Amino acid sequence: MEPFKPLDAVAVPIAVANVDTDQIIPARFLWRKRGDGWGHLLFNDLRFNDAGSPRPQFVLNRPEYSAARILVADCNFGCGSSREHAVWALYDYGIRSVIAPSFGDIFFNNCLQNGLLPVQLPAATVMDLIDALQQTPGMHIAIDLEAQRLSGPDGATHSFAVDPFRKACLIAGTDEVVFTLGLANQLETFEQDYERKISWL
């Protein structure tokens, strides 16, 4: 996965609460492998009709949002089953951050494991962002993960929380296993020093 760098990009609003993982990626596609690519299947049943033609009324099919890399959603985004594939679909589509008042717990952790930043903000703040994006499609949101700060279309800034270890992994563009393996020399030094200090054990 890519290192998470300061992001200033088009944001797309999904003004619907309780968007579940089956809506994000329908279950019938879960047989596919990670490397097969998932972006074209994102919100498949909402983006396309039974004949495979785009539904013009769905927000991601609007040209103003074609370059979106940030998604702003209503509460409890990513609820439902624990499928990691939902995050793969978002990531492969190009989404690098999802902003919402709340998330499904497993989805939230799957995002962090796969290089996608979930940003939790107060519901009123998120609704203001959604309103602004709907009124003027194509507007940008800027996210500075290092500073843990987000700037909305109106220039207002908002701080957000993120676990320090997860933050380090996102900035490095790696998962927790690879990040920990990168500390092998420090871990070995610690173990040797620890053994010297408690050699009687």
For residue 22, pLDDT beyond 70: yes
Are the C-beta atoms of 137 and 65 separated by less than 8 Å? yes
> What is the second-level CATH architecture of the domain 7-162?
Alpha-Beta Barrel (3.20)
Rounded to two decimals, the pTM is 0.87
DSSP per-residue codes, the chain: ------EEEEEEEE--S--BHHHHS-GGGTTS-GGG--GGGTTHHHHB-TTS-B-TTSGGGSGGGTT--EEEE-SSBTBSS--THHHHHHHHHT--EEEES-B-HHHHHHHHHTT-EEEE--HHHHHHHHHHHHHSTT-EEEEETTTTEEE-TTS-EEE----HHHHHHHHHT--HHHHHHTTHHHHHHHHHHHHHHTTT-
Among 60-64, 119-123, 146-150, 189-193, the range scoring the smallest mean pLDDT is: 189-193
C-alpha 63: how far from chain center: 22
| DSSP β-bridge partners for residue 121 | none
- Read off the amino acid at residue 143: I
Average pLDDT estimate for 30-47: 94
For residue 201, pLDDT beyond 70: no
For residue 75, pLDDT beyond 80: yes
Domain residue ranges in the chain:
7-162
Per-residue pLDDT tens digits for 159-199: 999 999 999 999 999 876 665 666 667 767 777 777 777 76
Per-residue pLDDT tens digits for 84-127: 999 999 999 999 999 999 999 999 999 999 999 999 999 999 99
Buried b (16+ CB within 10 A) or exposed e, 54-88: eeeebbbbeeebeebbbbbbbbbbbbbeebbbbbb
| DSSP β-bridge partners for residue 20 | 79
Quote the pLDDT of residue 195: 75
Quote the pLDDT of residue 88: 97
